[in-house]
Protein backbone atom coordinates (compact mmCIF):
# COMPACT_ATOMS: atom_id res chain seq x y z
CA UNK A 1 0.00 0.00 0.00
CA UNK A 2 1.27 3.49 -0.83
CA UNK A 3 0.61 6.86 0.78
CA UNK A 4 1.43 10.52 0.04
CA UNK A 5 4.36 11.79 2.05
CA UNK A 6 6.60 14.86 2.20
CA UNK A 7 9.95 13.52 1.05
CA UNK A 8 13.24 15.37 1.65
CA UNK A 9 14.56 16.12 -1.85
CA UNK A 10 17.50 18.35 -0.87
CA UNK A 11 19.17 20.13 2.04
CA UNK A 12 21.34 23.27 2.00
CA UNK A 13 22.70 25.92 4.33
CA UNK A 14 24.66 29.13 4.54
CA UNK A 15 26.77 30.72 7.28
CA UNK A 16 27.91 34.37 7.25
CA UNK A 17 31.69 34.74 6.94
CA UNK A 18 32.47 36.68 10.10
CA UNK A 19 33.50 34.46 13.04
CA UNK A 20 33.10 35.78 16.58
CA UNK A 21 35.25 33.77 19.00
CA UNK A 22 34.91 33.36 22.75
CA UNK A 23 38.25 35.16 23.08
CA UNK A 24 36.87 38.22 21.28
CA UNK A 25 33.70 38.15 23.40
CA UNK A 26 35.89 38.13 26.52
CA UNK A 27 37.14 41.56 25.49
CA UNK A 28 33.55 42.84 25.23
CA UNK A 29 31.92 41.51 28.46
CA UNK A 30 33.06 39.94 31.73
CA UNK A 31 33.27 36.33 30.55
CA UNK A 32 35.88 33.75 29.55
CA UNK A 33 36.41 31.08 26.92
CA UNK A 34 36.48 28.51 29.73
CA UNK A 35 33.10 29.60 31.20
CA UNK A 36 31.39 29.65 27.80
CA UNK A 37 32.77 26.25 26.75
CA UNK A 38 31.99 24.57 30.09
CA UNK A 39 28.44 25.93 30.39
CA UNK A 40 27.40 25.79 26.73
CA UNK A 41 29.92 23.88 24.57
CA UNK A 42 30.24 26.93 22.28
CA UNK A 43 33.66 28.08 21.02
CA UNK A 44 32.62 30.43 18.21
CA UNK A 45 29.59 31.67 16.25
CA UNK A 46 28.92 33.61 13.03
CA UNK A 47 27.69 37.18 12.77
CA UNK A 48 26.00 38.58 9.66
CA UNK A 49 27.83 41.50 8.04
CA UNK A 50 26.34 44.98 8.09
CA UNK A 51 23.64 45.02 5.41
CA UNK A 52 23.51 41.23 5.17
CA UNK A 53 19.88 40.35 5.89
CA UNK A 54 17.86 37.26 6.76
CA UNK A 55 16.53 37.13 3.18
CA UNK A 56 20.10 37.28 1.78
CA UNK A 57 21.26 34.26 3.77
CA UNK A 58 17.92 32.47 3.20
CA UNK A 59 18.30 32.76 -0.57
CA UNK A 60 21.83 31.29 -0.39
CA UNK A 61 20.69 28.35 1.76
CA UNK A 62 17.62 27.82 -0.45
CA UNK A 63 19.71 27.79 -3.65
CA UNK A 64 22.01 25.17 -2.12
CA UNK A 65 18.99 23.02 -1.17
CA UNK A 66 17.47 23.45 -4.66
CA UNK A 67 20.80 22.40 -6.25
CA UNK A 68 20.90 19.31 -4.03
CA UNK A 69 17.33 18.50 -5.12
CA UNK A 70 18.08 19.12 -8.82
CA UNK A 71 15.40 21.82 -8.89
CA UNK A 72 15.11 25.57 -9.51
CA UNK A 73 12.96 28.20 -7.86
CA UNK A 74 10.36 27.70 -10.59
CA UNK A 75 9.65 24.20 -9.22
CA UNK A 76 8.65 25.59 -5.79
CA UNK A 77 5.00 26.36 -4.99
CA UNK A 78 5.28 26.84 -1.22
CA UNK A 79 7.84 28.64 0.98
CA UNK A 80 7.54 28.52 4.74
CA UNK A 81 10.28 30.61 6.30
CA UNK A 82 10.82 30.32 10.04
CA UNK A 83 12.47 33.41 11.50
CA UNK A 84 12.42 35.72 14.51
CA UNK A 85 14.49 38.29 12.67
CA UNK A 86 12.65 39.23 9.46
CA UNK A 87 14.20 41.85 7.16
CA UNK A 88 11.21 44.12 7.78
CA UNK A 89 8.13 44.05 9.99
CA UNK A 90 6.31 43.39 6.71
CA UNK A 91 6.13 42.04 4.07
CA UNK A 92 7.16 38.54 5.07
CA UNK A 93 10.81 37.72 4.40
CA UNK A 94 9.51 34.62 2.57
CA UNK A 95 8.06 36.88 -0.15
CA UNK A 96 11.48 38.48 -0.66
CA UNK A 97 13.00 35.01 -1.01
CA UNK A 98 10.18 33.94 -3.34
CA UNK A 99 10.84 36.88 -5.67
CA UNK A 100 14.59 36.26 -5.74
CA UNK A 101 14.15 32.56 -6.49
CA UNK A 102 11.39 33.05 -9.05
CA UNK A 103 9.14 30.69 -7.10
CA UNK A 104 5.35 30.59 -7.35
CA UNK A 105 2.50 29.48 -5.10
CA UNK A 106 2.40 30.89 -1.58
CA UNK A 107 5.19 32.18 0.67
CA UNK A 108 4.88 33.20 4.30
CA UNK A 109 6.90 33.56 7.49
CA UNK A 110 6.36 31.53 10.61
CA UNK A 111 7.33 32.71 14.08
CA UNK A 112 8.08 30.12 16.76
CA UNK A 113 11.57 31.37 17.71
CA UNK A 114 14.01 28.46 18.12
CA UNK A 115 11.29 25.89 17.34
CA UNK A 116 10.49 27.66 14.07
CA UNK A 117 12.01 25.09 11.76
CA UNK A 118 10.14 22.18 13.39
CA UNK A 119 6.88 24.19 13.23
CA UNK A 120 7.58 25.10 9.57
CA UNK A 121 8.31 21.48 8.71
CA UNK A 122 5.00 20.40 10.29
CA UNK A 123 3.12 23.19 8.46
CA UNK A 124 4.60 22.44 5.03
CA UNK A 125 4.04 18.71 5.56
CA UNK A 126 0.32 19.31 6.04
CA UNK A 127 0.04 21.36 2.82
CA UNK A 128 1.93 18.72 0.82
CA UNK A 129 0.10 15.70 2.20
CA UNK A 130 -3.27 17.40 1.53
CA UNK A 131 -2.25 18.02 -2.09
CA UNK A 132 -2.19 21.81 -1.74
CA UNK A 133 1.42 22.11 -2.89
CA UNK A 134 3.89 19.91 -4.75
CA UNK A 135 7.37 21.17 -3.78
CA UNK A 136 7.99 23.21 -0.64
CA UNK A 137 11.02 25.09 0.62
CA UNK A 138 11.20 25.01 4.40
CA UNK A 139 13.72 27.56 5.61
CA UNK A 140 15.05 28.38 9.05
CA UNK A 141 17.04 31.62 8.98
CA UNK A 142 18.16 34.15 11.55
CA UNK A 143 20.22 37.28 11.94
CA UNK A 144 19.48 36.90 15.64
CA UNK A 145 22.66 38.70 16.71
CA UNK A 146 20.76 41.89 15.73
CA UNK A 147 18.51 41.31 18.78
CA UNK A 148 21.41 40.86 21.17
CA UNK A 149 22.28 43.28 23.95
CA UNK A 150 26.08 43.07 23.69
CA UNK A 151 26.41 44.15 27.33
CA UNK A 152 24.35 41.18 28.61
CA UNK A 153 26.84 38.37 29.19
CA UNK A 154 24.03 35.91 29.98
CA UNK A 155 22.82 35.99 26.37
CA UNK A 156 25.42 37.56 24.08
CA UNK A 157 27.71 34.52 24.29
CA UNK A 158 25.02 32.08 23.12
CA UNK A 159 23.67 33.19 19.75
CA UNK A 160 24.84 33.17 16.15
CA UNK A 161 23.52 33.85 12.64
CA UNK A 162 22.88 31.41 9.78
CA UNK A 163 20.33 29.81 7.47
CA UNK A 164 19.33 26.28 6.54
CA UNK A 165 16.79 25.01 4.00
CA UNK A 166 15.10 21.77 3.07
CA UNK A 167 13.18 21.02 -0.15
CA UNK A 168 10.19 18.78 0.51
CA UNK A 169 8.35 17.04 -2.34
CA UNK A 170 4.94 15.38 -2.17
CA UNK A 171 5.44 11.82 -3.37
CA UNK A 172 3.52 8.58 -3.36
CA UNK A 173 5.67 6.12 -1.38
CA UNK A 174 5.48 2.63 0.12
CA UNK A 175 4.81 2.39 3.86
CA UNK A 176 8.49 1.70 4.59
CA UNK A 177 9.58 4.42 2.11
CA UNK A 178 11.01 7.90 2.73
CA UNK A 179 9.29 11.00 4.04
CA UNK A 180 8.12 12.78 7.16
CA UNK A 181 6.61 10.09 9.39
CA UNK A 182 5.32 12.17 12.29
CA UNK A 183 5.45 15.73 13.59
CA UNK A 184 4.40 17.08 16.98
CA UNK A 185 4.28 20.76 17.97
CA UNK A 186 3.27 22.42 21.23
CA UNK A 187 3.17 25.89 22.82
CA UNK A 188 2.57 27.07 26.36
CA UNK A 189 2.25 30.84 26.69
CA UNK A 190 2.41 30.81 30.49
CA UNK A 191 6.21 30.62 30.07
CA UNK A 192 6.43 33.48 27.54
CA UNK A 193 8.29 35.91 29.79
CA UNK A 194 11.20 33.51 30.43
CA UNK A 195 12.47 34.09 26.89
CA UNK A 196 11.31 37.17 24.97
CA UNK A 197 12.29 40.48 23.43
CA UNK A 198 11.64 43.67 25.37
CA UNK A 199 10.28 45.41 22.28
CA UNK A 200 8.13 44.92 19.20
CA UNK A 201 6.14 46.89 16.60
CA UNK A 202 2.87 47.02 18.52
CA UNK A 203 4.10 47.14 22.12
CA UNK A 204 6.97 49.62 21.89
CA UNK A 205 7.47 50.54 18.26
CA UNK A 206 11.02 49.19 18.53
CA UNK A 207 12.66 45.84 17.77
CA UNK A 208 13.85 45.26 21.34
CA UNK A 209 16.56 43.04 22.75
CA UNK A 210 16.50 39.34 23.54
CA UNK A 211 15.96 38.70 27.26
CA UNK A 212 16.27 35.24 28.77
CA UNK A 213 16.15 33.67 32.20
CA UNK A 214 18.61 31.02 31.07
CA UNK A 215 18.52 28.73 34.07
CA UNK A 216 14.67 28.70 34.05
CA UNK A 217 14.62 27.87 30.33
CA UNK A 218 17.17 25.12 30.95
CA UNK A 219 15.02 23.66 33.76
CA UNK A 220 12.03 23.17 31.43
CA UNK A 221 13.87 22.31 28.23
CA UNK A 222 14.91 18.71 28.85
CA UNK A 223 11.49 17.45 30.01
CA UNK A 224 9.50 19.24 27.30
CA UNK A 225 11.84 18.09 24.52
CA UNK A 226 11.80 14.52 25.86
CA UNK A 227 7.97 14.59 25.92
CA UNK A 228 7.85 15.67 22.25
CA UNK A 229 10.35 13.03 21.20
CA UNK A 230 8.61 10.24 23.11
CA UNK A 231 5.33 11.25 21.43
CA UNK A 232 6.63 11.17 17.82
CA UNK A 233 8.51 7.93 18.44
CA UNK A 234 5.43 6.24 19.90
CA UNK A 235 3.06 7.55 17.19
CA UNK A 236 5.44 6.42 14.42
CA UNK A 237 5.63 2.95 15.99
CA UNK A 238 9.44 2.99 16.33
CA UNK A 239 11.82 2.96 19.30
CA UNK A 240 14.79 5.13 20.25
CA UNK A 241 17.04 2.27 19.10
CA UNK A 242 15.69 2.67 15.52
CA UNK A 243 16.92 6.28 15.26
CA UNK A 244 19.99 6.59 13.05
CA UNK A 245 20.62 10.30 13.62
CA UNK A 246 19.40 12.69 16.30
CA UNK A 247 19.59 16.29 15.02
CA UNK A 248 18.54 18.49 17.96
CA UNK A 249 18.16 22.25 18.15
CA UNK A 250 21.64 23.47 19.07
CA UNK A 251 20.93 25.57 22.17
CA UNK A 252 23.45 24.22 24.63
CA UNK A 253 25.65 21.10 24.66
CA UNK A 254 24.46 20.25 28.18
CA UNK A 255 20.79 20.21 27.06
CA UNK A 256 21.64 17.99 24.06
CA UNK A 257 23.57 15.58 26.26
CA UNK A 258 20.78 15.40 28.88
CA UNK A 259 18.05 14.76 26.28
CA UNK A 260 20.08 12.08 24.44
CA UNK A 261 20.96 10.44 27.75
CA UNK A 262 17.33 10.48 28.99
CA UNK A 263 16.15 8.81 25.77
CA UNK A 264 19.05 6.34 25.53
CA UNK A 265 20.39 7.77 22.25
CA UNK A 266 24.18 7.12 22.15
CA UNK A 267 26.40 10.25 21.73
CA UNK A 268 27.82 8.97 18.40
CA UNK A 269 24.27 9.20 16.92
CA UNK A 270 23.86 12.87 17.91
CA UNK A 271 24.71 15.59 15.36
CA UNK A 272 26.16 18.58 17.21
CA UNK A 273 27.23 21.88 15.68
CA UNK A 274 26.73 24.12 18.70
CA UNK A 275 30.51 24.42 19.20
CA UNK A 276 31.03 26.36 15.97
CA UNK A 277 27.52 27.67 15.16
CA UNK A 278 26.26 28.70 18.63
CA UNK A 279 22.47 28.90 18.95
CA UNK A 280 21.19 30.03 15.54
CA UNK A 281 17.54 29.75 16.68
CA UNK A 282 15.28 28.59 13.80
CA UNK A 283 18.31 27.89 11.58
CA UNK A 284 20.08 25.43 13.86
CA UNK A 285 18.31 22.18 12.89
CA UNK A 286 18.59 22.54 9.08
CA UNK A 287 22.17 23.84 9.46
CA UNK A 288 23.10 20.73 11.48
CA UNK A 289 21.20 18.45 9.07
CA UNK A 290 23.15 19.88 6.15
CA UNK A 291 26.47 19.32 7.92
CA UNK A 292 25.61 15.65 8.54
CA UNK A 293 24.31 15.12 4.97
CA UNK A 294 27.43 16.73 3.46
CA UNK A 295 29.90 14.76 5.59
CA UNK A 296 28.11 11.51 4.69
CA UNK A 297 26.66 10.64 8.09
CA UNK A 298 22.99 11.00 7.06
CA UNK A 299 22.34 8.63 4.14
CA UNK A 300 19.21 7.69 2.15
CA UNK A 301 17.02 5.36 4.21
CA UNK A 302 18.21 6.70 7.58
CA UNK A 303 15.70 7.56 10.29
CA UNK A 304 16.33 11.11 11.50
CA UNK A 305 14.86 12.67 14.63
CA UNK A 306 14.74 16.47 14.98
CA UNK A 307 13.55 18.55 17.94
CA UNK A 308 13.56 22.09 19.28
CA UNK A 309 12.38 24.28 22.14
CA UNK A 310 12.17 28.04 22.01
CA UNK A 311 10.51 31.20 23.26
CA UNK A 312 6.81 31.02 23.99
CA UNK A 313 7.55 28.33 25.10
CA UNK A 314 7.20 26.50 21.83
CA UNK A 315 8.56 23.01 21.33
CA UNK A 316 8.25 20.04 19.02
CA UNK A 317 9.82 17.11 17.25
CA UNK A 318 9.67 15.34 13.89
CA UNK A 319 10.70 11.93 12.61
CA UNK A 320 11.90 11.77 9.01
CA UNK A 321 12.97 8.82 6.88
CA UNK A 322 15.43 10.41 4.41
N1 LIG B 1 30.32 34.46 31.60
C2 LIG B 1 30.58 34.35 32.90
N3 LIG B 1 29.61 34.25 33.82
C4 LIG B 1 28.34 34.27 33.42
C5 LIG B 1 27.99 34.40 32.05
C6 LIG B 1 29.04 34.52 31.14
N7 LIG B 1 28.84 34.64 29.81
N8 LIG B 1 26.65 34.38 31.94
C9 LIG B 1 26.15 34.24 33.17
N10 LIG B 1 27.16 34.17 34.08
C11 LIG B 1 27.10 34.03 35.52
C12 LIG B 1 25.80 34.51 36.09
O13 LIG B 1 25.82 35.91 36.29
C14 LIG B 1 25.74 33.74 37.40
O15 LIG B 1 26.59 34.41 38.33
P16 LIG B 1 26.16 34.53 39.88
O17 LIG B 1 26.08 33.12 40.36
O18 LIG B 1 27.26 35.35 40.45
O19 LIG B 1 24.82 35.21 39.86
C20 LIG B 1 26.39 32.42 37.07
O21 LIG B 1 27.14 32.65 35.85
C22 LIG B 1 25.40 31.28 36.84
O23 LIG B 1 24.35 31.74 35.99
P24 LIG B 1 23.22 30.78 35.44
O25 LIG B 1 22.33 31.55 34.53
O26 LIG B 1 22.57 30.05 36.59
O27 LIG B 1 24.14 29.73 34.61
P28 LIG B 1 23.74 28.42 33.88
O29 LIG B 1 24.58 27.32 34.29
O30 LIG B 1 22.24 28.21 33.88
O31 LIG B 1 24.17 28.74 32.35
C32 LIG B 1 23.11 29.38 30.30
C33 LIG B 1 23.61 29.85 31.67
C34 LIG B 1 24.28 28.93 29.48
C35 LIG B 1 22.41 30.58 29.63
C36 LIG B 1 22.10 28.22 30.45
O37 LIG B 1 21.16 28.52 31.44
C38 LIG B 1 21.37 27.86 29.18
O39 LIG B 1 21.93 27.48 28.19
N40 LIG B 1 20.01 27.92 29.23
C41 LIG B 1 19.18 27.45 28.15
C42 LIG B 1 19.13 28.39 27.01
C43 LIG B 1 18.25 27.76 25.94
O44 LIG B 1 18.10 26.58 25.84
N45 LIG B 1 17.63 28.54 25.13
C46 LIG B 1 16.78 27.82 24.16
C47 LIG B 1 16.02 28.55 23.38
S48 LIG B 1 16.73 30.04 22.82
C49 LIG B 1 15.47 30.79 21.89
O50 LIG B 1 14.38 30.31 21.83
C51 LIG B 1 15.76 32.07 21.22
261 confidence band (pLDDT: 50, 70, 90): very high
Rounded to the nearest whole angstrom, what is the distance from the C-alpha of residue 36 to the centroid of ligand 1? 9
Q: What is the pLDDT of residues 16-72, one digit of tens each?
A: 999 999 999 999 999 999 999 999 999 999 999 999 999 999 999 999 999 999 999
In this structure, the answer to whether residues 169 and 183 fall within a common structural domain is no
Q: How far is CA 125 from CA 7, 80, 178, 213, 233, in A?
A: 9, 10, 13, 33, 17
- 156 given a catalytic annotation: no
3-state secondary structure of 6: strand
Does 217 sit in the ligand 1 pocket, CB within 6 Å? yes
In this structure, the answer to whether residues 156 and 232 fall within a common structural domain is no
- Looking at 147, 174, 201, which one is the last position of a domain? 174
In this structure, the answer to whether residues 155 and 189 fall within a common structural domain is no
In this structure, the answer to whether residues 13 and 155 fall within a common structural domain is yes
Q: What is the pLDDT of residues 89-106, one digit of tens each?
A: 999 999 999 999 999 999
In this structure, the answer to whether residues 155 and 249 fall within a common structural domain is no
| Nearest-atom index, ligand 1, CA of 312 | 50
| Nearest-atom index, ligand 1, CA of 255 | 44
In this structure, the answer to whether residues 21 and 163 fall within a common structural domain is yes
In this structure, the answer to whether residues 109 and 10 fall within a common structural domain is yes
Based on the structure, what is the number of domains in the chain? 2
In this structure, the answer to whether residues 138 and 19 fall within a common structural domain is yes
Does 35 sit in the ligand 1 pocket, CB within 6 Å? yes
Q: What is the pLDDT of residues 158-182, one digit of tens each?
A: 999 999 999 999 999 999 999 999 9
Lay out the sheet containing 314-321: strands in order across: 179-187, 314-321, 303-310, 245-248
- Looking at 146, 174, 202, which one is the last position of a domain? 174
Question: In the 8-state DSSP scheme, what is residue 284?
Answer: H
CATH number at residue 250: 3.40.47.10
- Residue in 107, 99, 83, 253 with CA at minimum distance from that of residue 163: 83
Domain that includes residue 151, residue range: 2-174
In this structure, the answer to whether residues 165 and 271 fall within a common structural domain is no
- 249 given a catalytic annotation: yes
Rounded to the nearest whole angstrom, what is the distance from the C-alpha of residue 214 to the centroid of ligand 1? 5
In this structure, the answer to whether residues 151 and 219 fall within a common structural domain is no
254 confidence band (pLDDT: 50, 70, 90): very high
In this structure, the answer to whether residues 130 and 55 fall within a common structural domain is yes
In this structure, the answer to whether residues 121 and 51 fall within a common structural domain is yes
Rounded to the nearest whole angstrom, what is the distance from the C-alpha of residue 149 to the centroid of ligand 1? 14
- Looking at 130, 153, 174, which one is the last position of a domain? 174
Rounded to the nearest whole angstrom, what is the distance from the C-alpha of residue 40 to the centroid of ligand 1? 8
Amino acid sequence: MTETRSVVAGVGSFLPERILTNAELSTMVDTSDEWIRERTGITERRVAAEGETTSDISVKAAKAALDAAGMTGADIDLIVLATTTPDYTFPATATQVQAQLGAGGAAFDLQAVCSGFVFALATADNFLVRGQAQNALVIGAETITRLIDWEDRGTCVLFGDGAGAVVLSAREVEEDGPGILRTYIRSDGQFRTLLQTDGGPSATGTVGHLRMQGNQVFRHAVNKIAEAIETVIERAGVTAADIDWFVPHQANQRILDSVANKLGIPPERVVTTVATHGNTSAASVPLAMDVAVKDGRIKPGDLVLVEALGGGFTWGAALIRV
